[in-house]
Structure 1
Amino acid sequence: MSEVLNDKQIRQKITRMAFEIYERNLHTKGVVFAGVTGMGLILSELLAKELSHISELQVEQLEVQLDKSDVANSKISLSQNLDLTGKSLILVDDVLNTGRTVAYAMKPFLQEEISKMELAVLVNRAHGLFPLRPDYTGFELSTTLNEHIRVDLSSSSYSVHLH
């Protein structure tokens, strides 16, 4: 197991991503961060906090609840109902691997009248089986399919490891 990103690097990437989100959403009615269950939700909360710190944009958050181990058969729900009309939705997950989880996580938003939907990930592994590319990426990492990325944002010291 080797460390790919340390705490300081992750915090810098979150700040940079928040500035990019701000720049691309200056003229929107607001930004809604939709974090995928697990580390995606925590990353979403960190991005929302940072965006609120650097801008006057209206920022809201919700969780996309699903079973990452079996997304195809998982019930997909939102932690709350928000008015998304005319707002920018940022779907957030920790790692983009094949794109399967993110593709299913988009489902609840397909009937909404959002201004636009964007994707933010901390690590993009680029093993795309689905035609998805993140709009905001903390780190691009080429790996084999046998290698695994472990993101830990739950403690006071953040880390990303390659197994």
Structure 2
Amino acid sequence: MTPATLPNNLILDKAQIEQKIKRIAYEIYERNFEEEELVLAGIYPNGNTLAEMLAAQLRAISPLKVQLLKLTLNKTSPLVDPVEIEPQYFSLTDMPVVLTDDVLNTGRTLAYALHTLLQHNPKKIEVATLVDRHHPQFPVAATYTGYSLATTLHEHVVVVLKENEIAAYLQ
């Protein structure tokens, strides 16, 4: 998005998002301090960027070996194309996994991603999201939430996680 196309309703600025990511990283470490290794599986594009940011924080504050996975899926028609996992041949067997996405709205995207991850027999799966909008239609809840925001069904949260801009907007 260019500055001219961004909505005016800023809900989180760069400093606030960075603070929330740091807090989520500490929470992840607190719940997984007995683990040697942890997988952050980010839903492309923004969930993957969030996973990368969380990985950097976790590496700075803990001895955990953090692995990154990128999940790509068709968010509007998730059954049309299979969920792709990169790297493709990474084993999740008996690994703790934190599935990340920028916004949790209905839980639909996360439910399809969870379905794919469960086929790889992880030890456990937790969910981290930057913004939780509270419109559940699928039985998915965030284990870690940066910002909880009650919105109407007609409002949208836009998260921008780019080098030159980090912010979240309500439109």
Q: TM-score, normalised by structure 2?
A: 0.91
Amino acid at match of 2:94: G
Q: Does 1:121 align with 2:129?
A: yes
Which runs of structure 2 are paired with 1:1-150 in the superposition (5 Å)? 1-80=8-87, 81-150=89-158
Shift of 1:144: 0.4
Give secondary structure in 1 for the equivalent of 2:134: coil
Distance in 2, matches of 1:86 and 1:156, equals 38
Give secondary structure in 2 for the equivalent of 1:86: coil
Shift of 1:25: 0.4
Q: Does 1:158 align with 2:145?
A: no
Shift of 1:66: 0.8
Deviations 1:115-160 (A, max 9, x none): 1100000000010001111000000000001001000001333100
Give secondary structure in 1 for the equivalent of 2:41: strand
Distance in 2, matches of 1:122 and 1:150, equals 11
Deviations 1:85-121 (A, max 9, x none): 2221000000000000000011221122321100000
More divergent stretch after superposition (70-79 vs 146-155)? 70-79
More divergent stretch after superposition (20-29 vs 6-15)? 20-29
Number of residues paired by the alignment? 163
Residues 29, 86 of structure 1: 8 Å contact kept: no
Distance in 2, matches of 1:75 and 1:90, equals 20
Distance in 1, matches of 2:77 and 2:54, equals 26
Deviations 1:63-104 (A, max 9, x none): 011122322323211011212222210000000000000000
Structure 1: unaligned runs, 5 residues or longer: none
Shift of 1:29: 3.6
Structure 2: unaligned runs, 5 residues or longer: 1-7
Distance in 1, matches of 2:164 and 2:29, equals 26
Give secondary structure in 2 for the equivalent of 1:44: helix
Residues 28, 86 of structure 1: 8 Å contact kept: no
Aligned-pair identity in percent equals: 42
Distance in 1, matches of 2:167 and 2:116, equals 30
Distance in 2, matches of 1:143 and 1:98, equals 12
Residues 10, 158 of structure 1: 8 Å contact kept: yes
Shift of 1:27: 1.0
